[in-house]
């Protein structure tokens, strides 16, 4: 898969949620992580981050939205449950993207939403935990950009004939 992605959150307040989101971003191969106006106590996030993501990927703590910067050509994708958001399963992920999630018990600020090139939503009936939303978004990115073959028609996994480039498909 070509390209890169980063993961961040606006106004997060719970260290364990931040740690879990960073660990998941690390597991999915994120290139960087960021926070915007995070609560001071999120510095304790290392307690939930058993993969030591702080040591493995760059972390950019922005004090406010005015200070927030992304690499040139990186599309900002907001993940928010709004009526006009694109359903995540129907979204074409940019090759260079930064995904931003809202705070606990809240949403992305209107100012943040205005800065986003795209707003996507996970098709659920109500908001879910920020670290779970991050995991689902990164999994969807991996599925859609990872070069996986089409799913089989019948239940189960692909047969060797479907994945072996030498043998023809039946």
The pLDDT assigned to 41 comes to 75
pLDDT in tens, the chain (170 residues): 578 999 999 999 888 888 889 889 999 999 999 999 998 876 666 555 666 666 778 889 999 999 999 999 999 999 999 999 999 999 999 999 999 999 887 899 999 999 999 999 999 998 899 999 999 999 999 999 988 888 888 888 776 655 555 544 44
Q: Which domains does the chain have, with CATH numbers?
A: 4-163 (3.40.1280.10)
pLDDT digits (tens, 9 = 90+) for 40-56: 876 666 555 666 666 77
Give the whole-angstrom CA distance, residue 149 versus residue 143. 10
- Helix/strand number for the chain, H first, E second: 5, 7
DSSP 35-95: EES--GGGGGGGGT-TT-HHHHS-EEEESSTTT----TTPEEEEE---TTSEEGGG----S
The pLDDT assigned to 167 comes to 46
């Amino acid at each position: 898969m070509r390209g890169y992605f980063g993961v961040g959150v606006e106004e997060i307040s719970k260290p364990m949620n931040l740690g879990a989101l960073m660990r998941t971003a690390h597991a999915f191969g994120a290139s960087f992580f960021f926070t915007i106006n995070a609560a001071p106590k999120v510095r304790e996030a290392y307690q939930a981050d058993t993969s030591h993501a702080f040591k493995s990927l760059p972390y950019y703590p922005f004090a406010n939205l005015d200070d927030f910067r992304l690499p040139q050509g990186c599309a900002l994708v907001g993940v928010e449950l709004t009526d006009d958001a694109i359903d995540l399963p129907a979204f074409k992920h940019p090759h260079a993207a930064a995904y931003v999630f809202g705070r606990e018990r809240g949403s992305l600020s209107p100012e943040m939403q205005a800065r986003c090139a795209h707003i996507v939503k996970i098709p659920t009936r109500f908001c879910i935990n920020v670290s779970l939303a991050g995991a689902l978004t990164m999994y969807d990115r991996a599925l859609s950009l990872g070069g996986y073959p089409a799913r089989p028609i019948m239940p189960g996994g692909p047969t060797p004939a479907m994945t072996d480039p030498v043998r023809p498909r039946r």
